[in-house]
Amino acid sequence: MKILACNLKNKLTKEEVIGFQNLLEELPIGSTKLIIFPSFVYLSFFTSQKYELGSQDISSFNETTLTGDITADQLSSLNVKYVIIGHSERRKLKNEINIDFINKINHAQEKDLKIIYCIGETLEEKEKGNTYMVLEKQISEVLNNVEIKDIYIAYEPVWAIGTGRTPEKSEISETIDFIKDIVDENYEYSVKVLYGGSVSPENITELVKIKNLDGFLVGKSSLDVKNIEQMLNKMN
Ligand code: 13P
């Protein structure tokens, strides 16, 4: 089953998210697994069985009292099943590093939350020909230090996020193979890999043809339920 994961980021006001949720309720989902990642403040609005619920982040700490943070217990109590960890926006703007991802994964796994671990190279790294080296490092430095269970990888080239640019299909496919091979070789784990970065109802027609891809992590396009409907149609 392919996955369509919708990362709503810090977008939508309360009224907008209610409208979004109502439209989603009427949507035929088909055979694709739809996962919605709203802002923390709206998680409790999403109660339908038609899709699964994910969180865009989680606290690094379980027991510590920490103003503003959200724990796995709290997320589980809202029926959250997935957590995004390692997103490039948080790597860059919140200075999150491997130890944060390791702590977050450990914490999330205590409540059996499934992990969507994001990796991806910057444009500079790509232009220097360092993509695979960067990806391998992002994978090994984190996965060497956590339990390998219920982990998905989202390959999101930083230069493709929010830019309207995507890699060639063949490039995505080769990179997915690379990621799957190293995870298989090093952890004997068959990881599912999503692609993210400027996925839209238009370009998904071609992107769905990538055989070794297990789904998509979509940002901007997923803010409009009509786009989600079109993307689901093309994936089903
Ligand atoms: P865009 O689809 O807006 O490029 O965002 C991708 C992303 O960051 C999903 O996590």
**CATH code, domain carrying 103:** 3.20.20.70
Q: Check residue 125 and give its pLDDT.
A: 98
**What is the crossing angle of helices 14-25 and 225-235, to 10°?**
30
Asked whether 217 lines ligand 1 (CB < 6 A), one says yes
Whole-number Å distance, alpha carbon 162 to ligand 1 midpoint, is 6
Catalytic residues: 87, 156
Determine the length of the chain.
236
Candidates 222, 233, 235, 232; CA nearest to 7 is: 222
> Going by CA atoms, what residue is nearest to atom 7 of ligand 1?
219
Do residues 206 and 200 lie in contact, with contact meaning Cβ atoms separated by under 8 Å? no
Asked whether 201 lines ligand 1 (CB < 6 A), one says no
Q: Check residue 62 and give its pLDDT.
A: 87
Candidates 220, 54, 85; CA nearest to 153 is: 85
Q: Check residue 120 and give its pLDDT.
A: 98
Q: Check residue 64 and give its pLDDT.
A: 87
**The one-letter amino acid at 114:** K
Do residues 221 and 201 lie in contact, with contact meaning Cβ atoms separated by under 8 Å? yes
- 87-138 pLDDT, tens digit each: 999 999 999 999 999 999 999 999 999 999 999 999 999 999 999 999 999 9
- Looking from the CA of residue 220, the nearest atom of ligand 1 is 3
Helix (H, G, I), strand (E, B) or coil at 213: coil
Asked whether 7 lines ligand 1 (CB < 6 A), one says yes
Whole-number Å distance, alpha carbon 78 to ligand 1 midpoint, is 24
Asked whether 198 lines ligand 1 (CB < 6 A), one says yes
Whole-number Å distance, alpha carbon 63 to ligand 1 midpoint, is 32
CA distances from 158 to 19, 23, 66 (A): 30, 30, 30
The alpha-helical segments, DSSP class H, found in the chain are: 14-25, 72-77, 88-93, 98-110, 123-127, 131-143, 169-187, 204-207, 225-235
Number of compact structural domains in the chain = 1
**Domain of residue 226, residue span:** 3-235
Asked whether 169 lines ligand 1 (CB < 6 A), one says no
Q: Print pLDDT tens along the chain (236 aa).
A: 899 999 999 999 999 999 999 999 999 999 999 999 999 999 999 999 999 999 999 999 988 899 999 999 999 999 999 999 999 999 999 999 999 999 999 999 999 999 999 999 999 999 999 999 999 999 999 999 999 999 999 999 999 999 999 999 999 999 999 999 999 999 999 999 999 999 999 999 999 999 999 999 999 999 999 999 999 999 99
